[in-house]
Amino acid sequence: MDNRWRQLADILVTYSARVKPGERVLIAMGEVESFPLTHALYEACIRAGAYPQVQFTSETLRHSLLVHGDAEQLNWAPELEAQGMAWADVYFGLRGAYNLHMHDDIPADRLALNQAAQGRISTLRWQQTRWCLVRVPNAAFAFQAGADEESIEAMFFAACLLDWERESRRWKRWADQLNRGKTVRLVGRETDLSFSIEGRRWMVGDGTFNMPDGELATAPVTSTLHGHVTFEWPGVLGGRLMHGIRLAWEHGTLVHASAATNEAFLQRILATDAGASLLGEFAMGANPHVDRFCADILIDEKIGGTAHMALGRAYPECGGDNQSAIHWDIVKDIRQEGAVYVDDRVVLEHGQFHLDD
């Protein structure tokens, strides 16, 4: 086994989830290529005195459900997965990549219905467990990123095997500065969006919930959303890519939503529930080792110097109150053109943070 998997597993157990003796740990192994990390993580949990269980998931199996299932089955949140969240003290989701065109033949309404069911399981995860999601690189991941496997693995491990305690302290100093502000404005190519963050908090993504990690996030006051945003990169959800997404709000109401591809699916997602058309999160990517778009949100939202926002559910840790079955992040590239203002202060411009270390 590549020793880097063991190093990462030790970080996940001792730092990310701080697994304690006697705790129950659910390891969700997504795709067979995730086995090396699954093995290393299982061993690390045993050494920590915990009781790990492994669950296998695969988009290939999900595709069979999407093709052959009826509406009731598509809207089914599997009981064993739900019970697993109730059983576990700690949940590790090891997400192997898959062919993003796998579900291209699935009608938008069927995919959206199943996406909402998966969202209910996700809600149980963050409500009932200490959790961490890991995107595990494989051949499919390298292909969608337009790179070779060796380069992608090098970026992945460089972004994961950090001194997370040190990075956490630095980013928390940044969050302290951001918490003094009351408004946020994002500007960039065909973008000018503003909202209040009064009464909200900035949360640091420091390797606790995601790996790799590196972001500073808050929750907009949804009634104050005003302006428009255009995304350079496609939004990816449920294995479907939506290029050229454009969104606009007026005084907290979504007034425009379009996409150059898969617009019907975008509209279905926005209609999931009342909170799906509002922003539950606004964040800035801060990992200096993640530097290329990979069409994978667990990686892309960490690209240093970018901004991203999530439609749907807000994290209560930020003081957010938007409720939804979905939480869908889309990344805005402002490294060449754009800036983020907190009140009247530029805090991120052309990919560079202007915050005191």
Listed by start position, the domains of the chain span: 3-160, 164-353
CA distances from residue 352 to 59, 94, 331 in whole angstroms, order as listed? 37, 31, 16
Instruction: Give me the residue label for tokens 């019970």.
Output: 83
Amino acid letter, residue 205 = G
Which residues are 26's β-sheet partners? 53, 91
What is the C-alpha separation between 104 and 239, in angstroms, rounded?
8
Model confidence over 174-209: pLDDT tens digits? 999 999 999 999 999 999 999 999 999 999 999 999
| pLDDT, tens digit, 9 for 90 and up, residues 291-321 | 999 999 999 999 999 999 999 999 999 999 9
Residue 322 has pLDDT above 90, yes or no: yes
Length of the chain (residues) = 357
Token digits for 162?
């950090």
| Average pLDDT over all residues of the chain | 96
pLDDT at 101: 82
Lowest mean pLDDT among 134-143, 198-207, 221-230, 252-261: 134-143
Going by the DSSP 8-state scheme, the letter that residue 33 receives in this structure is: G
Tokens 């007034």 sit at which residue? 255
- The CATH number of domain 3-160 is 3.40.1830.10: yes
Judged by phi (left if over 0) then psi (alpha if -120 to 50, else beta), residue 240 lies in beta
This prediction has a pTM of: 0.87
